[in-house]
Structure formats: structure tokens, C-alpha cells
Structure 1
Amino acid sequence: MVNKKRAPRKTNEALNKAIFQATITLLNNEGYEAVTFSNVARLAKTGRPVLYRRWHSPFDLLLDAHNYFSEDEVDDYTNIDFSGSTMRENLIRILSHFNASPQFMRAFLFELGQNTSAVQKFSNQMHRQNLYLMERLLSQAQLDGEIKHTVTDDVKLLPFNLLQYQAMMTPNGMTPESVQTFAESVVDHIVVPAILAQQ
């Protein structure tokens, strides 16, 4: 009897990467409807029970995959130094970091319509992160004497909500150039006037 060599088992890190890469590949190449546990397991060369044990739904898996590949970018995003720039420049700067694929935005929009716990959790996470950024940005603007008043949370979240809406309404996705152009227009014509109107 011939002993067949088994393929070496993946380490946890290697398995995670394979699963997350398979998830993003399916999303980008075939669309959100192709992101199923069965398809991901097949592409990642693992078993479906591995996925069922760890994720409640394909969207939960997609969120973890999205976070996995954008971890360094998000860390850089939340550690921006706002000193030395005007409030306008800083607003444009944080909005220009936006980098979600059209496929991910379509998945988010679909789940938003389903009002799932995963999308609520993701939205709350984004709101907390965006409020944190705006509070730091506006604190710097106060130190620099550009504003002397507090700003409501609705206005703090306004630039992110507008950009998210624009991204969801752009079928082929937003390029870095279109994000920059949109950010400048929104900041100049809507966000800065809304901030100053609260004085």
C-alpha cells in the first residue's frame, strides 16, 4: 500500500489570509451574490464548517476580509496629524482617504436594505471612527482660532454621509481623482458653511 503524503495544514494566519483573499476575489470578479460560504471554502481550499463556526453570515466574513486588507490604511487614517493645516485642508484630506470598491458598496447597500445586525454593527463602527476624526479635526480648528464653538454630531458626520451616498450612487465606483474633486466641492459648498452656521 502506497502512503500518500498529505498537504501540509495551513497555519491560522495562512488560513485567514486564504479565506479573506478568496472572499475579496469572489466579490471583485463575480459580485456579492457569489460570496457564499460554499464558494469561499472551495476557493480557499478549506471546509465549510470552518467558516460556519467563525462567521454568522457571508457579510460578516466580507467585513472581516475588508478590514484585514485595509488595516494598515485605517490605522494611518485615524492617526492623521491635523496641525499645520487649515480646517478646509484637513476636511478634504480625511475625505480623500475614502477607498471602498463599488462591489463592496453594492454589498453594503444590499445589506443596508436588509437591516442586518452585521451592517448595523459596521455602521456604528464607522460612525464612531468618523466622530473621533472630526472631534480631533475640530479641536485643532479651535486651537487655531478658526472656530470658537461646538459642532453637533449631525454636522460632524455630514461629510462622510455625503461621500458614502455618492459612492453608492456611482455604478462603476469612484476613482481617487473623483473622490478628491467631490471632497473639495462638498467641503467648500456644504460642510464648511454648515460648521460655520452653528456659531
Structure 2
Amino acid sequence: MEKKTQTRKRGLELEKTIYAVALQLFDEKGIEAVTFNNIAQRAETSRSVLYRRWDSPSSLLVDAVHHWAHENSGYPENIDEHSFPDTGSLRGDLIENAHQIANLHDKLSQYFIKFSMYQVVNGETVGDDLLEKAEIGAVRLGTVIANRAIQRDEIQVVPAKEVLMLLGNIRRYYTFLDPQQAPTPERLVDNIILPAWLAHQAN
């Protein structure tokens, strides 16, 4: 009788499987079930594979949530000048960004609330780690948008980090704390974000 051989997942396929398994464990049994041992068993890989990539199960879980939110919101996880639409103007790019951030935060919100509750009880910074990842992405995309605007002669320099993070921080406030009062992307950009970008050019 011919022996069946099982091909182990590798590369991107394995990464996606690990992320899916981590979220399944979290959704089914809570964050305490998200251990390297449980993930490795379900993903049919070894714990050493996980240890080489992640410092802890919580850091893996943050990456899994981040990946899932991007996959389901249409907001590319790895932003560059090719993956973000070029609307032809700074205002248009900022409005497009505002729409994408709103979709991303809607996806992140369900996990962020779970993380926050866990953090209050256990004192771990899982929710903070997720916010830090979002802020890194905001600065990266803001820089892409700024460089396009510089090429169009709309602005002269890339704004400071605080300005690049402003859109994401304001959207995050409305998503998690006051969704009923959230302004439209157009109002947010015209009244706050674009003026902040332009004011920075004069400094």
C-alpha cells in the first residue's frame, strides 16, 4: 500500500494559515487559548517556526488581526505608490485615505474592544500594540501621499509625523468612542486634515 505523504505549508500559505488559526482560537476560546503550542498543532507546523518570527503569542495575534482587517477592508497592508490610488490631487488622496481608514477601523473595532477588555484585566498591552502598528501604517501612507503632492507642486515638504498621523487618530476617536458624530471623509479632510497639512508648509 502506497504511503500518503503530506506536504507542509510554507511561506505565505503557512503565514495565512497561522493567522487564521490564531484568530479561530481567539474567537472560540479567548486570548488565553492563543499559545504557540495550540497554534502550531492546529496549523500543522512546529513551535520553532513561530518562535523564529514572533516574540510572543500576543504579538502573533496582533499581526493576525492587522492582516485580517486589511484583507477584509480593501486597505492594502503594505502601502506603496503603486497600491494606493492616485486621485490626481492632495485633497482627493486624503479623502480616499479617509474612506479606507474608516473601513479598516470598522474591521479592527471588534478585536480592539476584546483586546481592551483583556488589557484591563491582565495589564498586557495587546491593544496598544495594535494601535502602534496602525500608526506606523499611517505614517508610511502619509509619506506616499505627501511625496505625490510634492511632485505636483501642491506642497513643498513631507509634514511632521504628528500631521501624518492626524487623520488616523481622529478617525480612530470617532470609530471607537463617538461613531454617531463621525464627520464624512470630505468634511474631515476639508475642515481639519488638509488645513493642517497646508499650515505645516508655512512653518
Query: Normalization by structure 1: what TM-score?
Result: 0.64
User: Per chain length, whose mean CA-contact separation is higher, i.e. which structure has more relative contact order (CA < 8 Å, sep 6+)?
Assistant: 1
Are residues 1:63 and 2:71 paired? no
Contact conserved, 2:21 with 2:39, CA < 8 A, in 1?
A: yes
Are residues 1:119 and 2:129 paired? yes
Q: Distance in 2 between matches of 1:64 and 1:55?
A: 9
Contact conserved, 2:163 with 2:197, CA < 8 A, in 1?
A: yes
Which of residues 132, 150, 156 in structure 1 aligns to 2:164? Answer: 156
SS at match of 2:100: coil
Structure 1 residues 28 and 54, CA gap change in structure 2 (3 angstroms):
same
SS at match of 1:151: coil
Which of residues 9, 12, 21 in structure 2 aligns to 1:11? Answer: 9
Give the ranges of 4+ consecutive aligned residues of structure 1 lying more than 6 Å apart after TM superposition.
none
Structure 1 residues 188 and 43, CA gap change in structure 2 (3 angstroms):
same
Contact conserved, 1:131 with 1:153, CA < 8 A, in 2?
A: yes
* Cα deviation, residue 12, structure 1: 2.8
* Cα deviation, residue 87, structure 1: 1.9
Q: Which amino acid aligns with 1:65?
A: A
Q: Distance in 1 between matches of 2:52 and 2:153?
A: 53
Q: Distance in 2 between matches of 1:75 and 1:52?
A: 23
Structure 2: gaps (5+ residues): none
Note the alpha carbon deviations across 1:112-142, whole angstroms, 9 max, x for none.
Answer: 97447x928x72x544443333233234334
Structure 1: gaps (5+ residues): none
Match of residue 193 from structure 1: 195
Q: Distance in 2 between matches of 1:56 and 1:151?
A: 33
Which of residues 71, 92, 95 in structure 2 aligns to 1:92? Answer: 95
Note the alpha carbon deviations across 1:157-189, whole angstroms, 9 max, x for none.
Answer: 11112223333437xxx8xxx9x9643332122
Contact conserved, 1:92 with 1:183, CA < 8 A, in 2?
A: yes
Note the alpha carbon deviations across 1:13-38, whole angstroms, 9 max, x for none.
Answer: 45444322111223445554553445
* Cα deviation, residue 60, structure 1: 1.6
Aligned-pair Cα RMSD in Å: 4.2
Q: Distance in 2 between matches of 1:11 and 1:25?
A: 18
SS at match of 1:11: coil
Q: Which amino acid aligns with 2:198?
A: L
Q: Which amino acid aligns with 1:24?
A: L
SS at match of 1:82: coil
For residues 120-159 of structure 1, what are the structure 2 equivalents within 5 Å? 123=132, 126-147=134-155, 151-159=159-167
Q: Distance in 1 between matches of 2:143 and 2:39?
A: 39
Match of residue 82 from structure 1: 86
SS at match of 2:76: helix
Match of residue 19 from structure 2: 20
Structure 1 residues 17 and 9, CA gap change in structure 2 (3 angstroms):
same
